[in-house]
Structure 1
Amino acid sequence: MTSHSTKTPRIAFLGTGAQGASIGADFVLAGHDVTFIEQWPDHVNAIRENGITVNLPSRTINAKVKALHLCEVAEIKEPFDLVFLVVKAYDTKWATQLIEPVLAKDGLVIGLQNGMTHEDIAAIVGRERTIGAVIEIASNMFVPGVTNRQNDHDTSWFALGALDPQTQERVESVADLLRCTGTVEVTDDIRSAKWMKLVVNAAELIPSAIVNLPLGDAARSPGMLEVMRAAGYEAMQAAIADGAKIVPIIGMPPVTTNHPERYVDQIFEEVLTVFSQADTLTTSLQDWRKGRRAEIQEVNGWVIDTLKAHGRTAPINQRVVDLAYEIEANTLEAKPENAALLIETYAASIPAG
């Protein structure tokens, strides 16, 4: 990880909510040198007192780990070799700026996040020190010091890839570390892989939150599956327009179809059947129930802006974004009845005849 190849890497998890805490706990139990850095004061205090507890589908683990408040980053003397960034996409820039002074000169930042955040990270620490990532885990956290992870290691999936070709040879060693928590694939086209994940996220995160239902229930609500798929279709169009390739993610087999919409359906079905449970709430709905803002612009808004740059529109994603901002402005309540507003837009988008 550093110029001293035999040295045990110093690892930080910056952002230890539901995802970061559960992954970080596995690192600790695997014997790695790990520090949690977190912005929720009660969470830090709970970890210091009782460790981090992770409730998995059939077992519970607990790990004792050093936990720091954000304000304590300035007190760090020894730099980190690896920083796993697991904050909201909209927090990427400031979080990377916060950690950059304590990142080793040859250290790496790995963005375990939704959205196309790898470029924001690279703009601050350099492309040679940035590893992009795709993550597929369902989890939630409502109590400090306790996270509920709905995927054990066998159904947790990651992809890693460097932005700078000169750094790609270092990705496998990072992947080896991450394999303590799930399946990890190394790709030389992380940008396309992240676009494929954004396609899924555009279909599921905010649409299901707007109707205030678990992901599976939202998809089964009359008319909503078509809406959600249509949001994904627009996202795939944006990905292709942006030069991304249709690549397999989340352990799916190599792409054998040239039909982008069919592949969107396959990815979405895989998420629904393998990577989510009956009560899985998307991260966006969890955010709203906690009074936090969701990753709206960073996912569905990204689709709109990308297609707009190519002279095209994204009516379904635009409606999703508009309704989402109304909910965050408290002028609309997230509720199942909102499905009619989305279905109306979908129906209007279908060409006549």
Structure 2
Amino acid sequence: MAWHSERSPRIAFLGTGAQGASIGADFALAGLDVTFIEQWPEHVTAIRERGITVNLPSRTINARVPALHLCQVAEIRQPFDIVFLVVKAYDTKWCCQLIEPCLAPDGFVVGLQNGMTHEDIADVVGRERTIGAVIEIASNMFTPGMTNRQNDPETSWFALGAVDPAMQPRVEAVAELLRNSGTVEVTDDIRSAKWMKLVVNAAELIPSAIIDLPLADAARAPGMLDIMRAAGYEAMQAALADGATITPIIGMPPVTTNHPDRYVDQIFEEVLKTFSQPDTLTTSLQDWRKGRRAEIREVNGFVVETLKRFGQSAPINQRVVEVALAIENGELQAHPSNIELLTAAT
């Protein structure tokens, strides 16, 4: 990478919602060369006029960052060395197709996303230019130009790993940049790390959204914790069937149990304890309250399809998918009474 010795890297954040904007603001305040690329017009306008404001638990920060509309990507002349992709999993491929002409030949796209998106990124930009990532931050955004991040950098966590093993020695340089926003671990097995995150996402994101409650309240609702854990257990079965290794994530200590279900419990407990506030809404519930679709097929649906490939079933995740799609299709409303619909699958 030329920027190691000659200049600072040119960095883009493609997708500057709650997560991307807060991380990008940390980069800007660290003096890095950062550009925001965003699809929400009012958000771009607000950033241009007032900068990006991030409300953290301990303080509020504001950063001035160049912000481009998606329609301005074709105007970019100088390529980016690193593109942090922080969009919904279902938007991965088209966003990579959009930005690939603006990526340096030896640059990277880093997928700071839920789901197994590293393969989708690699399909577009090449395995040698893809870094898989795991992100654990709770945040929300409802006002243009302002994000509410519920984790200070001290309790924000990331993992990075190259998709092409030959590129792994270069990952540390990217990790050093990302450490402006939290703890970063570099792993040789990013695929397993991303599976472990999908396991906990399957348990928390859509199930809690279905009953229209913050994550902590959902976990306390009668019968709901068992349902959420069961979704996670099935996801772990899918991960292991797909060749993943039980791997510690989100700063947890090395694996202390070989029992897959117990490890699911440990991950879920850590998320509730360290990475959630009493009012934390999962990204899926935020999506629904904004009238947007959630990552149903990319998380719980991925579990169902993976186990199906191996001749196994995932009845809890299948039921989660069915109920969630009924909500998105307007046939049902997100409500605590939906616990009964999920229980029917157990």
Which one-letter code corresponds to 2:196 in the other structure? M
Which residue matches 2:79?
Answer: 79
Q: Percent identity, please.
A: 79
Mapped to 2, the partners of 1:92 and 1:2 lie a distance apart of 27
Matched ranges for 1:29-48 at <5 A: 29-48=29-48
Q: Distance in 1 between matches of 2:309 and 2:27?
A: 41
User: Pairwise mapping of residues 4-43 of structure 1 onto structure 2 (< 5 A)?
Assistant: 5-43=5-43
Q: Which TM-score applies when normalising by structure 1?
A: 0.97
Task: Determine the C-alpha separation between the residues in 1 that align with 2:271 and 2:256.
Answer: 19
User: What are structure 1's unaligned runs of at least 5 residues?
Assistant: 347-353
1:250 corresponds in structure 2 to: 250
SS at match of 2:148: strand
Aligned to 1:266: 266
Cα distance between partner residues in 2 of 1:61 and 1:113 = 23
Q: Match for 2:184: what amino acid?
A: V
What residue is the counterpart of 1:349 in the other structure? none
Q: Tell me which residue corresponds to 1:222.
A: 222
- Say if 1:3 and 1:106, in contact at 8 Å, map to a contact too: no
Question: CA offsets per residue over residues 330-349 of structure 1, 9 Å max, x none?
Answer: 00000011011112222xxx
Deviations 1:295-343 (A, max 9, x none): 0000000000000000000000000000000000000000011011112
Q: Is the 8 A contact 1:158 1:185 kept in 2?
A: yes
Matched, 1:289 2:282: no
Measured against aligned partners, the alpha-carbon deviations of 1:45-72 in whole angstroms (never above 9, x if no partner) come to: 0000000000001200000000000000
Instruction: Give the CA deviation at 1:165.
Output: 1.1
Task: Give the Cα separation in 2 of the matches to 1:124 and 1:252.
Answer: 33
Q: CA RMSD in A?
A: 0.7
Cα deviation for residue 3 of structure 1 reads 6.8
Work out whether residues 96 and 124 of structure 2, in 8 Å CA contact, stay in contact via their aligned partners in 1.
Answer: yes
Q: Distance in 2 between matches of 1:165 and 1:255?
A: 24
Check conservation: 1:210, 1:323, Cα contact below 8 A.
yes
Q: How many residues align?
A: 346
Give me the whole-angstrom Cα distance separating, in 1, the residues matched to 2:91 and 2:204. 21
Deviation at 1:7, TM superposition (A): 1.7
- Separation of aligned partners in 2, 1:75 and 1:256: 52
Unaligned runs of 5+ in 2: none
Distance 2:241 2:63 in 1: 45
Aligned to 2:108: 108
One-letter amino acid of the counterpart of residue 257, structure 1 = T
Give the secondary-structure state (helix, strand or coil) at the position aligned to 2:16.
coil
Tell me the alpha carbon deviations over residues 74-131 of structure 1, each in whole angstroms, 9 at most, x when there is no partner: 0001000000000000000000000000000101000000000000000011000000
Residue aligning to 2:141 = 141
4+ residue runs over 6 A deviation: none
Q: Which amino acid in 1 is paired with 2:230?
A: A
Question: Is the partner of 1:245 in helix, strand or coil?
Answer: coil
Q: Please state whether the residue corresponding to 1:247 is helix, strand or coil.
A: coil
Please name the residue that 1:162 is paired with.
Answer: 162
Task: Using the TM superposition, give the Cα deviation of residue 256 of structure 1 relative to its aligned residue in structure 2, in angstroms.
Answer: 1.8
- Please report the TM-score for the alignment, with normalisation by the length of structure 2: 0.99
Shift of 1:4: 6.3
* Contact 2:3–2:9 (8 Å) recurs in 1: no
Query: Given residue 211 of structure 2, which amino acid in structure 1 is its aligned partner?
Result: V
Give the letter aligned to residue 53 of structure 2: T
Contact 1:208 1:214 in 2 (8 A): yes
Distance across 2 between alignment mates of 1:337 and 1:143: 30
Partner residue in 1 for 2:57: 57
Corresponding residue number in structure 2 for 1:235: 235
How far 1:11 sits from its partner (Å)?
Answer: 0.1
- The whole-number CA distance in structure 2 between the counterparts of 1:196 and 1:2 is 34
Determine if contact 2:133/2:159 at 8 Å carries over to the other structure.
yes
8 Å contact kept, 2:296–2:321: yes
Distance 1:4 1:344 in 2: 56
| 2:88 is equivalent to residue 88 of structure 1 | yes
Amino acid at match of 1:277: Q
Closer, same or farther: CA 257–70 of 1 in aligned 2, 3 Å: same
> CA–CA distance in 1 between the matches of 2:172 and 2:166?
13
**Using the alignment, how far apart are the partners of 2:213 and 2:19 within structure 1?**
20
C-alpha distance in 2, partners of 1:261/1:270? 14
